[in-house]
Amino acid sequence: MRPRAMTKLTFGAAAAATLGLLATLAPTADAHQPSGHKPEPKRIGYFTQWGIYGRNFQVKDLETSGTAAKLSHINYAFGVIGADGKCLMGNAPGSDPWADYVRPVDAATSVDGVGDTADQRLAGNFNELRELKAENPGLKVMISLGGWTGSAHFSDAVRTDAGRKTLVASCIDTYIKGNLPVDGARGGAGAAAGIFDGVDLDWEWPGSEGAPGNVIRPEDKPNFTKLVREFRTQLDAYGRSLPKPQRKHYELSAYVPTAPAKIDAGFEVAKIMRDFDFVNLQGYDFHVSGEKTTAQQSALFAKNDFSVDQTVKAWLRRGAPAHKLVVGMPFYGQGWTGVTGGGDGLGQPATGPAPATWGAGSEDYKHLKKLADSGTYKLHRGYRNGHAWLFDGTNLWTYDDPTVLRAKASYVRQNGLGGAMVWSLDGDTPDGELITAIDRGLTRR
């Protein structure tokens, strides 16, 4: 992403100054904010389907860490859109029914302490989410559709009215009605009913470049608006069709970009915001480790560069209500190696992505915290920009720590925004250090 013009400041006990600056640098809440109405800020966390494997991050960890009690929503990543234009499970890249609902979870790993049996119709992550909701009655779970590697078929699927109707109906059938494919004793009609409380659209990106190979069309922009309308229509109709005691409003959200060019290429903002309950703003990956020069990935403020504040203002200017804008925050960092040029390392040439635990250039916060505590790296802060980075003279990591997240949460609260979203929950420490910082920033009076 471009351009880059950085203000690099280092401070020690200047965290308080961050909060003081928010009032003067932050945008003014827009006229769409309902008068006198201040709903509780949303606290949304993405749970990755694949995190149960290498990271061994289980749904139960959300309970034992205290994270679940601090969340309003969990976005389950990801539901798959197949080449046939339907939500599907099974024989498609990214689909993992074993993780979703087939895998037996033992007593030690289960939220309720009871192991799954062979004859259960629902097991795996879905059943654990059901148990987690039972322990946290206010918690909602959304199915997130697509993702960076799962958005290839959106454009084809939504080209026609019939295609949009088919796609939406299939997603509601699979996730909202819970009609899962039969796999041995697992699945069947209604097996996952009641788990998902809405749909999160993660099409990256309508009308502009995403993952290599994605189909992109100029008509993606109006077709996305029509897709949102179709989801809103069918979700509302299904919610009203339930027996009276069970009737409900199913929520609809989306993950949306920071770059103004991508916003304008794919989103009719004023129109789609009428049908969305909220949108999750991209608040990270402003710069990534594949670039040749080190830079911030998630600054709250930045001069002549992408930032959280720039993203919020871009959506406000295009007609989005402030109270529907949820700010994305990273639980991971972007890293470079071979950094030369001296100084604090930011804005300097690098030879490539830094070595990391799971994949070069990207590291979970829980591991970056160990680097920060090791004495090998120096911690730098751009308090006016609201970001942090670690530098050891060769390797640089830019990331959000509790100080940065408290400042961002305060920004959300002071400006009447919709709340905070995090990618992803498995990057936090076992005691939920980051989600606690966000929670405190959002609730401070």
Q: What is the pLDDT along the chain (445 residues), one digit of tens a residue?
A: 333 222 222 223 333 333 344 433 444 433 334 445 578 999 999 999 999 999 999 999 999 999 999 999 999 999 999 999 999 898 788 899 999 999 999 999 999 999 999 999 999 999 999 999 999 999 999 999 999 999 999 999 999 999 999 999 999 999 999 999 999 999 999 999 999 999 999 999 999 999 999 999 999 999 999 999 999 999 999 999 999 999 999 999 999 999 999 999 999 999 999 999 999 999 999 999 999 999 999 999 999 999 999 999 999 999 999 999 999 999 999 999 999 999 999 999 999 999 999 999 999 999 999 999 999 999 999 977 799 999 999 999 999 999 999 999 999 999 999 999 999 999 999 999 999 999 999 997 5
C-alpha distance from residue 184 to each of 119, 128, 173, 180, 187 (Å): 9, 19, 20, 12, 8
pLDDT of res. 18:
39
Report yes or no: 382 and 394 within 8 Å, Cβ to Cβ.
Answer: no
pLDDT of res. 415:
97
How many secondary structure helices (H) and strands (E) does the chain include?
Answer: 13, 17
Q: What are the structure tokens assigned to 171, written together?
A: 């997603």
C-alpha distance from residue 288 to each of 139, 308, 360 (Å): 33, 16, 11
pLDDT of res. 91:
78
pLDDT of res. 36:
52
Tell me which amino acid residue 262 is. Answer: K
pLDDT of res. 31:
36
pLDDT of res. 37:
56
Q: What are the structure tokens assigned to 279, written together?
A: 């949108």
- Alpha helices of 8-87 — where are they, by DSSP H? 15-25, 59-64
Q: Among the options 63, 204, 230, 363, which is catalytic?
A: 204
Q: Is 204 assigned a catalytic role?
A: yes
Q: Is the dihedral of CA 342, 348, 349, 352 positive or negative?
A: positive
Give the burial class of 261: count Cβ atoms within 10 A of its Cβ; 0-12 exposed, 13-18 middle, 19 or more buried: exposed
For residues 77 and 68, give the distance between their C-alpha atoms in angstroms, rounded to a whole number: 17
Question: Can you tell me whether residue 105 is helix, strand or coil?
Answer: coil
Buried/exposed code over 373-403 (b: 16+ C-beta within 10 A; e: otherwise): eeeebeebbbbbbbbbbbbbeebbbbbbbbb
285: which residues sit within 8 A by CB, 6+ positions away? 1, 297, 298, 330, 334
pLDDT of res. 240:
98
Report yes or no: 133 and 68 within 8 Å, Cβ to Cβ.
Answer: no
Superfamily of domain 40-281: Glycosidases (3.20.20.80)
